[in-house]
Amino acid sequence: MSTDVISYFHQKADRYDEVDQQVYWRLSDELLWHTLTTTYLDDLPEDFTFLDAGGGTGRWTRRVLDAYPRSRGVLVDLSPDMLAVAETKRTGDRADRLELVRGDLGDLPEQVRGRRFDVIWNFHNVIGFLPDPGAVLTSLAGLLSDTGALVTLAPNRYHAVYFNLAVGRLEAARSAATTGVSTFTDDMPPLRLFSPDELIGLYGAAGCRVDLLTGFPSAVYPSRQETRLDGSSPAVVELLGDPEVFADVLAIEKKLALEPDLAARGNNIFIAGRRSAA
Ligand SMILES: C[S@@+](CC[C@H](N)C(=O)[O-])C[C@H]1O[C@@H](n2cnc3c(N)ncnc32)[C@H](O)[C@@H]1O
């Protein structure tokens, strides 16, 4: 499984950050940033520490280091190609506040074992690629500081069924519905998908009480083009290409994201929690 993941991201790494140019993903990223910052990062001490688990090319790490100039973090990833792109972001004032570690989250690298972090996140399919996501969430929870938060953005099984039917991938839709493992494109390795309840169960088993569960985007769904690194579907561009409409849709999504029921409808499920008191 890990060799499939490494070779998949070998092909994607160089152009992975081009996702920033796709208007659908800009909407999704703004929602994730808004939720992460207003709910967690803004309340932390200025010199907080973080672990970006499966941080890939460092898109989130860079944004956090720039917005919180006294924060420090570690990015762990399996893919040498994704890490090579992340390395290009270790510049200027970020250079000595970021450690990059090549390693498998299934067997925590020694550089992070025994350390404590104020916030640990894993964003965009990371736990879907893991053979045992529950075990990884448990070991990540063990790295949290006493008040630290574990934040996950995971692929929604129900959305995967809808999406695959919408693009004519019947077998992939069936697999998502019946086994909870599927793909969004023909070239990707099998991805484990999640329901809100399943994630709540994994957080409980990891010794974390959930304090936020939601999902987004839930009002605008991606099409086939949004599963590639470039291109956008005409309907999404027609809607979100106008900056005023983009701002309106973002406001609608932010409002909806306050409602826990949306977890089951979002393209991705956002779940966050802290270690339960012993
Ligand atoms: C879709 S990318 C997301 C990257 C980043 N979190 C983001 O949101 O931009 C998934 C990342 O998970 C990493 N990954 C998958 N399995 C992993 C594992 N077992 N240990 C560490 N990283 C892993 C991949 O190498 C890839 O960089």
Atom nearest to 153 CA in ligand 1: 8
pLDDT tens per residue, the chain (278 residues)? Answer: 588 999 999 999 999 998 888 899 999 999 999 999 999 999 999 999 999 999 999 999 999 999 999 999 999 999 999 999 999 999 999 999 999 999 999 999 999 999 999 999 999 999 999 999 999 999 999 999 999 999 999 999 999 999 999 999 999 999 999 999 999 999 999 999 999 999 999 999 999 999 999 999 999 888 777 777 667 788 888 889 899 999 999 999 999 998 888 899 999 999 999 998 75
216 Cβ inside 6 Å of ligand 1? no
Tally of domains in the chain: 1
Residues ≥6 apart with Cβ < 8 Å to 35: 212, 214, 216, 257, 270
- Assess if residue 73 is contained within a domain: yes
| Residue 205, helix vs strand vs coil | helix
Distance CA(144)–CA(138), nearest Å, equals 10
pLDDT computed for residue 66 by the predictor: 98
User: Does residue 82 have its Cβ closer than 6 Å to ligand 1?
Assistant: yes
**Sheet bearing 268-275, strands edge to edge:** 98-102, 72-77, 49-53, 117-122, 144-155, 268-275, 208-216
Say if 181 falls within a structural domain.
Answer: no
pLDDT at residue number 246:
94
Phi-psi label, residue 122: left if phi above 0, alpha if psi -120 to 50, beta otherwise = beta
Q: State the Cα–Cα distance between residues 31 and 239, nearest whole angstrom.
A: 17
Strand 98-102 with 181-182, pairing = unpaired
Token pair 């973090």 in the structure block, residue: 73
> Residue whose CA is closest, atom 16 of ligand 1?
129
The verdict on residue 187 lying in a domain is: no
Domain for residue 203, yes or no?
A: yes
Contact criterion met (CB below 8 Å) for 10 and 79: yes
Domain assignment present for 214: yes
**pLDDT score, position 109:** 97
How many CB atoms within 10 Å of residue 142?
A: 14
Given the CA of residue 106, which atom of ligand 1 is nearest to it?
19
Q: What is the CATH number for 25?
A: 3.40.50.150
- In testing the pocket of ligand 1, which one of 2, 9, 77 has its CB within 8 Å of the most ligand atoms? 77
Q: Which DSSP letter does residue 156 get?
A: B
For ligand 1, is residue 60 a contact (CB within 6 Å)? yes
Asked, for residue 60, whether it belongs to a domain, the answer is yes
- Determine the length of the chain: 278
Q: Cα(248) to centroid of ligand 1, in Å?
A: 31
Residue 32 beta carbon below 6 angstroms from any ligand 1 atom: no
Say if ligand 1 is within 6 A of residue 18 CB: no
Distance 74 CA to ligand 1 centre (A): 14
Instruction: Give me ligand 1 centre to Cα 1, in Å.
Output: 13
* pLDDT of the residue at 21: 85
Tell me the residue range of the domain where 6 lies. 2-156+194-275
Are 119 and 50 in contact by the 8 Å Cβ rule? The answer is yes
| For ligand 1, atom 26: residue with the closest CA | 56
Evaluate whether 83 touches 60 at the Cβ level (below 8 Å). Answer: no
Q: Are 215 and 266 in contact (CB under 8 A)?
A: yes
Rounded to 10°, the helix 157-166/170-178 angle is: 160
In-domain check, residue 126:
yes
Residue 89 CB–ligand 1 contact under 6 Å: no
What distance in Å separates the CA atoms of residue 129 and residue 178, rounded to the nearest whole number? 18
pLDDT at 16: 92
Residue 165: inside a domain, yes or no?
A: no
